[in-house]
Amino acid sequence: MIETGNLRLRRPEIGDLEAIHAMRSDPAVVRFLGGRLLNREEAWHRLTRIVGHWALRGYGLFAVVEKHSGRFVGEVGLFDGYRGLSADFDDSPEAGWILATEAHGKGYAAEAAIAAHRWFAETHGDRRSVCIIAPDNLASLRVAQKLGYKRFGEVEYQKAPVVMLERIPGRMA
């Protein structure tokens, strides 16, 4: 478990299913993720995929829990997405952060993502990582900037444009 000032980051658990479903079926949350709401079955598949990634790779998306409330508020971490975007993208761990609506605007995404990147560097080596963000997702682009990500391209992913960003070791905030 990782602790920050406001948050706890831990591996996802079966008890996170309902919170994942609620988060991923909220239009405000999925707006920049293709806009597709997940049903409960798809939320279950997401949870098992995240847990499986941890089992296979020894890292993945953390469940983000608000310390003062104990409430699940999101997913943050690094993972292998194998999206087929390009060799210079798919060969690096991909960073991601998704927070529930009630956690927006509190600085939690940056707080959790900085902690997850530090943990990854300490346990798996400080190496290049990548992320994709919708060009109009300004809040997420600000988080990426705080982490030291720089734009290196733009592609279409799931029928929408995304900015490809990379973080070179030593650039982290």
Q: What is the pLDDT of residues 63-74, one digit of tens each?
A: 999 999 999 999
In a domain, 108, yes or no: yes
In a domain, 165, yes or no: no
In a domain, 140, yes or no: no
In a domain, 159, yes or no: no
CATH number of the domain encompassing residue 75? 3.40.630.30
Angular region, 148: left φ>0, alpha ψ -120 to 50, beta rest:
left
Distances (CA, A) of 154 to 31, 33, 92, 125: 19, 16, 16, 27
Which whole number is the average pLDDT over 48-57? 96
Angular region, 111: left φ>0, alpha ψ -120 to 50, beta rest:
alpha
In a domain, 93, yes or no: yes
**Residue showing tokens 């194998």:** 82
Measured in degrees and rounded to the nearest 5, phi and psi for residue 138 equal -65, -35
pLDDT (tens digit per residue) in 119-167: 999 999 989 999 999 999 999 999 999 999 999 999 999 888 999 999 9
- The predicted pLDDT at position 110 comes to 97
The total of structural domains in the chain comes to 1
Query: CB-based contacts of 78: which residues, under 8 Å, 6+ apart?
Result: 59, 60, 93, 94, 95, 96, 116, 117, 120, 129
For residue 121, the Cα-to-chain-centroid distance in whole angstroms is: 16
The range of the structural domain enclosing residue 112 comes to 2-126
Global pTM?
Answer: 0.93
Helix (H) or strand (E) holding 27: helix 27-30
Angstrom distance (rounded) from CA 50 to CA 70: 21
